[in-house]
Amino acid sequence: MGRIKRRMLTFIVIMLSVYGLLCALIYSQQERMVFYPEALPPGYAFSFGQPFEEVSLPVAGATISALHFTVERPRGAVLMVDYRGYGKSSGSISGEQMLHDDALAAYDWLAERYPADSIVLAGRSLGSGIAARLATQRTPRMLILETPYTSMLSIARRQVPWAPGFLLKYPLRTDRWIGQVASPVYLIHGTRDELIPFASSQRLAELIPGEHKLYAIEGAGHNDFTGYAGYDRALGEILDQ
């Protein structure tokens, strides 16, 4: 009987040790698991079929790289920003507040050159939570969220339900911010999204007290929804508002 108890105790200790190691791995490596940073060499030459300029934004501990596109008769200002560690942006991400601070710096650069009613704030997938938070700090013409989540915490619970929530350094609680956005909010989501369920956008829409609309892209998944005709129609209708 004593031998069985010792074996059971040994088994429990081993399982707890494995669990602890897995939790430590998730905490220490989540930047790689969440952001998948892909850097470009400093001399990389961008090429697009329309006019643009490269912009370097100094922020605390890094320089953020962005592309400012200009077109004739624009329906909104376009500034595409790379996170730290992406593209030509230097530094690395180590906390959620850093993401919000960098986004605010990019918005303010654009706001120095365009009136607020010309700025369309858009965030897709991972960027949707950052855009939602930014829209509570500034008042753009509108906020567009493509394949948004209610929170990264909810995504983590679906992916690794056995891991405690406090391990996540990037909860990105869109569900807590969306109700504070004063600008009109437009959501675009594929009905067959395999990563972020369509129900996430439905839930967010319920939390928006002001002007908003949810565009369902029938049959679209997470990474292919921009190839559906419904996406182009939705975006065109939104920008014509």
pLDDT at position 1 over 60: no
pTM of the model: 0.88
pLDDT of residue 133: 98
**Residues identified as active-site:** 125, 193, 222
223-236 pLDDT, tens digit per residue, is: 898 889 899 999 99
Mean pLDDT of all residues belonging to the chain: 89
- Please give the C-alpha separations between residue 163 and each of 9, 44, 129, 156, 166, in angstroms, as whole numbers: 22, 40, 22, 8, 9
pLDDT tens for 71-93 read 777 777 789 999 999 999 999 99
Residues 66, 231, 181: CA angle, nearest 5 degrees: 60
What residue spans define the domains of the chain?
Answer: 1-36, 37-239
Distances (CA, A) of 97 to 93, 101, 135, 146: 10, 6, 15, 22
For 174-217, the pLDDT digits (tens) are 999 999 999 999 999 999 999 999 999 999 999 999 999 999 99
pLDDT of residue 194: 92
Alpha-carbon distances of 94 from 7, 61, 215, rounded to whole Å? 41, 11, 34
The torsion angles phi and psi of 217, rounded to 5 degrees, stand at: -95, 100
Q: How many helices (H) and strands (E) does the chain have?
A: 7, 7
- pLDDT tens sequence across 87-116: 999 999 989 999 999 999 999 999 999 988
Position 216 scores a pLDDT of: 96
pLDDT digits 0-9 by tens, 15-42 = 777 777 777 777 777 777 777 778 899 8
Q: Which of 33-37, 61-65, 113-117, 157-161 has the lowest mean pLDDT?
A: 33-37
In CATH terms, 37-239 corresponds, of 3.90.1150.10, 3.60.70.12, 3.40.50.1820, 3.40.50.720, to 3.40.50.1820
